[in-house]
Structure formats: structure tokens, C-alpha cells
Amino acid sequence: MFKRTLFDSDHEMFRDVVDRFIADNVAPYHAQWEKDGQVSRALWTKAGEVGLLCTTIPEQYGGVGVDFLYATVVQEQFSYHNYSGPGFAVHSDIVAPYILNYGSEALKSEWLPRMARGEAIGAIGMSEPSAGSDVKEIRTTAIRDGDDYVINGQKVFITNGQMCDFIVLAAKTDPAAGAKGVSLILVEADREGFTKGRNLEKVGYKAQDTSELFFHDVRVPVGNLIGEEGRGFAQLMDELPQERLLQAIRSTVSVESALEWTLDYTTERKAFGRAVADFQNTRFKLAEIRSRSVMLRVFLDRCIEMHVAGELTAIDAAMAKMLASEIQSEVLDTCLQLHGGYGYMWEYPIARAWTDARMMRIAGGTGEIMRELIGRDLIKSHVSK
């Protein structure tokens, strides 16, 4: 078995806490949440009580104040057990850092403790019907009017969209300035004119609420601005590497889990008088999956190590996200095939993981965008030699 060296005994003790939480509070209910299209509100407060939310947020703001490896553990264990419903990573490791790193003291003091307790659920609003990976093309506007911004526009594919109490919204404060006109603004869900649309019915991630959001003349005080006007695009680019790393973590663990499930199935399932694992084709496929998973794990753990040290670049994260999501998609398809007809049955974890996996090649920037970023950087580095 490949031995990892990232975690110490405290991290592993925390992993046990996460596993117990999942066994007690997630496993018995996740199937129903898949039918409901969202998890229970009570799950969030329970997660806050045991310290699963906002682990990297300093204690002065209600967080646990530990390193990113604890957030990694939470992401890994939910991925390992194949429970995609709770949108904890978006809330804790994507939304909260925007407030911590760029928000005013008033915003940090008001929202971060409530997020850590699971009392206020956060979402991030970037994607629009006409702008996905290309954030600078968003059309939602936030026009200054005295002491307020007046917001008009629409967002789509928003994780935690149905349950959110607020959203960190990317909007154009200067529509004529392109990327330099984008700003981030915290918008409370109870603001007049802020409407939550339908809970979108997705191919996978069925227990995770994902919504359309509408903004019609929503007035928000200028104090809700996160950082400086016109700096939103730069802030998004600075934080996207962590988002993409989290996605790579989920994809990599999914590959490892799928291999375990497939080994269990093929060693027990009989065909033509012998175990499916006894056929050369099966052994070759499993050998390929194992080799790819180890190579991916080594690279990803190095990326996590660099991120903890503050050394992970946007290009590193793009490569990790691209490779992990594409290897995951290929591996899960192979593993499902090795399960035969049972692999297509929803009660088998490989079926749910297979449907969830397709999203990973899109969210956080498509594989094509990752290639563009990596290729552009490669050419630029070569030319500047």
C-alpha cells in the first residue's frame, strides 16, 4: 500500500472524528436527501458543533484555526464515503476565505463566526447563463447609488443556492471596464429583490442544492463590498487555485475508492466458473487503475504540501484539477464496466460516483480552460527564456 506522509497523528485523530460524524449524521439520511435535492439544515449546525466547518478560519472569528490539511481531511472522508450532498467545502474553504482575506473587520466579525457554527450558509456567485468559465464576461451589475449598490442580474449553477443565507456575488461595478470592473459584494438572502429560483435537477450530486438566483434592484450597503471596487476578478483568480485543489482532492479519492469497490466486487463475483478478477483482462485493468491512482496521488499530495506552504501556483492547481478529473472520469467508467449490470444500479456506490464524476470536468473551470491556462503559461515561459 502506498504510504502517505502529509498527515500527523492529530490529523488522523480528526479523520476519525469526521468518519464518526459521517456514520452518525450523514450515512443514514443521504439517500433521502438525494430524493429531496438538499441536505437537512440541522446537519450544518451539527457539523459546526464538532468543528468540521471553517477549520482554517482563525479562532478569533469562530473557526478552528488549523492548517489546510484539516480541510483536506474533511474533503477526503466525504469523498471516500461517496457522500456529495453537504456543500461544506464551498462554504468553508471557498466562501469563507474571501471574507477573511478581503472583507472588512465588520463583515468578518458578523459572518465568519456564524459560518463556523453552521448558522449561516454561504454560497459563491460567479456563473451566469452567458458566462461560465469566462468570469470577466459576467453581466450582473452593482451600480453605486448613494450609500448603496443596486444589483441586477442572474446567477446559475450555484452550490448551496437554495439554502444559502448570503452569497459572495461577482458583479460589474463598472460595466465598461471588463475584468477591471468586477467587484465582490456580500448579498444577504433576505434582501428585497433577491429571489431563489428552482433547485436544479442535475445528473449527479443529487443531494446538493444547486440553484438559479435572481437579483432585481437589490439594494445593498456599500459596506458589503468585499475588498476594493474593481479588484474582484483578481481576488477570484487568487482564490481559484484552492477551489481547484479541493476538486482534485475529491477526484483522486474517488479513484481510490472506486478501485476498492471494484476489487471487492470482482474477487467475489463469479463468471464462467471463476472470479471475475481471475480473468486477465480484469487484472490488467485493475493494474492500470492502481498505477494511475498512485501517480496521481503522489502529484496531488505534493500540490497539497505546496499549498500549505503557500507555494502552489494557479498553473499547478490547474494541472491537478484537469488531470484528476479526467483520470477520475476514465477510471470510474472502467470500474462501472467491471461491475457489469450491477454497476448501473443506483444502490451500488460506483453508479453514484460515476454520475457525480462528470461534473468535475466542468466545475471550477472546464478542462479546456485548464488547458488554455497551462498552454498559455507554457508558451510565455518558453518565449521569455
The set of residues, in sequence order, having a beta carbon less than 8 Å from that of 172 and lying 6+ positions away, is 138, 139, 140, 141, 142, 181, 182, 183
384 or 357: which leads in pLDDT: 357
The set of residues, in sequence order, having a beta carbon less than 8 Å from that of 116 and lying 6+ positions away, is 48, 53, 54, 57, 61, 62, 63, 64
Q: 3 pLDDT band (50/70/90 cuts)?
A: confident
Residue 331 located in a structural domain? yes
pLDDT at residue 41 tops 70: yes
CB 154 within 8 A of CB 215: yes
Mean pLDDT across the stretch 202-217?
96
Distance CA 381, CA 385 (A): 7
CB 261 within 8 A of CB 349: yes
Distance, CA of 349 to chain centre: 20
Residues 193 and 261 placed together within one structural domain of the fold? no
Residues 217 and 238 placed together within one structural domain of the fold? no
pLDDT at residue 377 tops 80: yes
pLDDT at residue 1 tops 60: no
Smallest CA-to-CA distance from 250 within 94, 42, 58 is with 94
The set of residues, in sequence order, having a beta carbon less than 8 Å from that of 74 and lying 6+ positions away, is 18, 52, 55, 88, 89, 92
Residues 255 and 154 placed together within one structural domain of the fold? no
Q: What is the pLDDT of residues 236-291, one digit of tens each?
A: 999 989 999 999 999 999 999 999 999 999 999 988 999 999 999 999 999 999 99
Q: Helices 349-357 & 232-268, crossing angle to 10 degrees?
A: 150
pTM above threshold 0.85: yes
pLDDT attached to residue 135: 76
Distance CA 112, CA 172 (A): 25
Q: What is the pLDDT of residues 342-375, one digit of tens each?
A: 999 999 999 999 999 999 999 888 999 999 999 9
Residue 2 located in a structural domain? no
Q: What is the pLDDT of residues 93-150, one digit of tens each?
A: 999 999 999 999 999 999 999 999 999 999 999 999 887 667 778 999 999 999 999 9
Cell numbers of 201, please? Answer: 435537477
What's the domain count of the chain? Answer: 3
Cell numbers of 297, please? Answer: 496521488
Mean pLDDT across the stretch 285-307?
97
pLDDT attached to residue 100: 98
Smallest CA-to-CA distance from 25 within 13, 39, 37, 43 is with 43
Asked which of 211, 228, 245 is the last residue of a domain, the reply is 228
Place of cell 487568487: 238
How many Cβ atoms sit within 10 Å of the Cβ of residue 222?
A: 14
Q: 385 pLDDT band (50/70/90 cuts)?
A: confident
pLDDT at residue 4 tops 60: yes
pLDDT at residue 295 tops 60: yes
The 10 Å CB-count burial string (b at 16+, else e) for 272-284 is eeeebbeeeebee
Distance CA 238, CA 20 (A): 34
CATH of the domain at 107: 1.10.540.10
Q: What is the pLDDT of residues 314-345, one digit of tens each?
A: 999 999 999 999 999 999 999 999 999 999 99
Residue 64 located in a structural domain? yes
Strands (E) located in the chain:
122-125, 141-145, 148-159, 166-172, 182-188, 194-199, 210-221, 225-226, 270-271, 274-275
Strands (E) located in 235-287:
270-271, 274-275
Asked which of 116, 144, 170 is the last residue of a domain, the reply is 116
pLDDT attached to residue 133: 67
Q: What is the pLDDT of residues 180-203, one digit of tens each?
A: 999 999 999 999 999 999 999 999
Identify whether 192 is a catalytic site residue: no
Strands (E) located in 189-312:
194-199, 210-221, 225-226, 270-271, 274-275
Cell numbers of 70, please? Answer: 484539516
Residue 282 located in a structural domain? yes
Domain carrying residue 153:
122-228
Distance CA 168, CA 227 (A): 12
Smallest CA-to-CA distance from 187 within 233, 139, 234, 155 is with 155
Q: Which of 34, 229, 243, 256 is catalytic?
A: 243
Distance CA 141, CA 123 (A): 18
Residues 100 and 190 placed together within one structural domain of the fold? no
Residues 250 and 376 placed together within one structural domain of the fold? yes
Residue 367 located in a structural domain? yes
Asked which of 116, 131, 158 is the last residue of a domain, the reply is 116
CATH of the domain at 244: 1.20.140.10
Per the rule left: phi > 0, alpha: psi between -120 and 50, beta: everything else, 157 is left
Q: What is the pLDDT of residues 42-53, one digit of tens each?
A: 999 999 999 999
Residues 90 and 206 placed together within one structural domain of the fold? no
Distance CA 96, CA 89 (A): 10
Residues 220 and 330 placed together within one structural domain of the fold? no
What is the amino acid identity at position 79?
S
For β-strands 166-172 and 122-125, DSSP reports them as parallel
Strands (E) located in 10-74:
none
What is the separation, in whole angstroms, between the first and last Cα of the chain? 41
Residues 239 and 341 placed together within one structural domain of the fold? yes
